[in-house]
Amino acid sequence: MNHTDNDQEYFKSYDNFQVHELMLRDRPRVTAYYDAIMNNKHLFENKVVLDVGSGTGILSMFAAKAGAKLVYAVDACPTVCHLAEELIKSNRLQEKIHVINKRIEDIEKFDETIDIIISEWMGFYLFHESMLESVIYARNHFLSLPSQNDDITPDQNESIIIFPSHAYLYCAPFVDQNIRIELNTMWKDYFDLNMSPILSHIKNSKLKECVIETIEPSQLVHDAQLIQSIDLRTIQIDDLRLLRSFCEFDIDNTCIISGFCFWFDCYFSSNNNSSILRSTRLTTSPYSTKTHWKQTLVFLPEDIYPLKGDVVPVNIKLKQSIENRRQYQISISLKKIKGGVMNNIGCDDDNSNTEWNIRRRQRRRSSTISSDKRTTTDNKSKDTSSDSTSSNSDDDVDSNEHSIPCSCDRDRCKLIKTIIEKYTEETIVE
């Protein structure tokens, strides 16, 4: 399938009202654009606006109501363009909005110079569908700039108005609470029947592809890290072919990691808004109201069990597909886990040890995370904390007496040895 076929399939999928209904029902999405445009009416007053991928024309109508002199609403889907014209007419905005049923790349020029570009181009994990390329094309070919030079200078940046103006992609490790468990258990014991052969007929049953799902904040086992930042005023199409990043997650508490969760934020900043963080924000974070983008989950082949103090180093690569430029391959490389301050982990009383044993068994069975408790006793110095991570066989044993890895029979040493052996080889999720 060539790029033309991929584009036709892509636009066909959006020439369906159900897709647009889903987006219109996404209140955080629509609210962010409405606030960004209406709170900046001074920018839109008597300006010519280009809406790239205008769909039902909702953003075009916002721009027109904000005072734009003219809005070009460009979309390649004929059915949706007809609907947009009907909606625009019903709101008496047909004199201000001109609907154009074409790909933006197929337009040679507009009758008037473009002052502002607006677009809702974001896909899953920000880059899916590659609509950002169309926005960049529109910026490079149609947006009014002080100079016609190909290179955009910092001073020119301040004169470019594109909504949204900036986008940020985040990543955090998460623990799965049901997806893998259901696949591994549900069909093997289904009303006393073994239905496991059905797995081969279930899409993505091995979780080798991304899973688009909403997760709870409690499933995140570490704070997110920023892995990609996009400035819509300067980013070029070639910059999107391959995106690499590296993260290190310092583990505060012994936990389970099932995979890595991705989400994005977008900001609507202008030359009159020097602080990006003060501008309107659209977020798809698990901590915020749910959106139709949900979160993107990339599962590891199996859960891993880093200990408190470990450092989990992760290489992340997003590579645009050669066969279909609207898709990306997300690769996660887990390098060897770096052992943390495990020598400081000890325990002081039998009750804490027993409690840890129970919680550890429950944790592995249900794949849920609870925070480790810390206890201090009178016979310990104030700057020494104990973490309930050892078994009853570890009582009153100074962990500094054991090397890492250690070949003794202590449960803690066996666990550490198993983890070290397991990750001496690089693990790659493709």
Residues designated as active site = 120, 129
Residue with tokens 């992609």: 169
Superfamily of domain 167-359: Hnrnp arginine n-methyltransferase1 (2.70.160.11)
pLDDT in tens, 342-367: 332 233 333 333 233 323 333 333 33
Q: How far apart are CA 298 and CA 277, in angstroms?
A: 28
Residue 57 burial by CB count (10 A; 0-12/13-18/19+): exposed, middle or buried? buried
The phi, psi pair for 373, rounded to 5°, reads -95, 145
Q: What is the pLDDT at residue 422?
A: 45
Contact (CB, 8 A) for 31 and 296: no
Residue-wise pLDDT tens digits, 70-123? 999 999 999 999 999 999 999 999 999 999 999 999 999 999 999 999 999 999
The Cα–Cα gap between 163 and 59 comes to 10
Does this chain's domain 3-120 share its CATH topology with 167-359?
no
How confident is the model over 293-319, as pLDDT tens digits?
A: 999 999 999 999 999 999 999 999 999
Q: What's the CATH architecture for 3-120?
A: 3-Layer(aba) Sandwich (3.40)
**How many Å apart are CA 205 and CA 397, to the nearest integer?**
45
- Where in the chain are the domains? 3-120, 167-359
Q: How do beta strands 295-304 and 257-268 pair? A: antiparallel
DSSP for 320-368, written as a single string: E-SS-TT-EEEEEEE-PPBP-SGGG-----HHHHHHHHHHHHHHHHHT-
Degrees, nearest 5: CA angle 24-29-30: 55
Its pTM stands at: 0.75
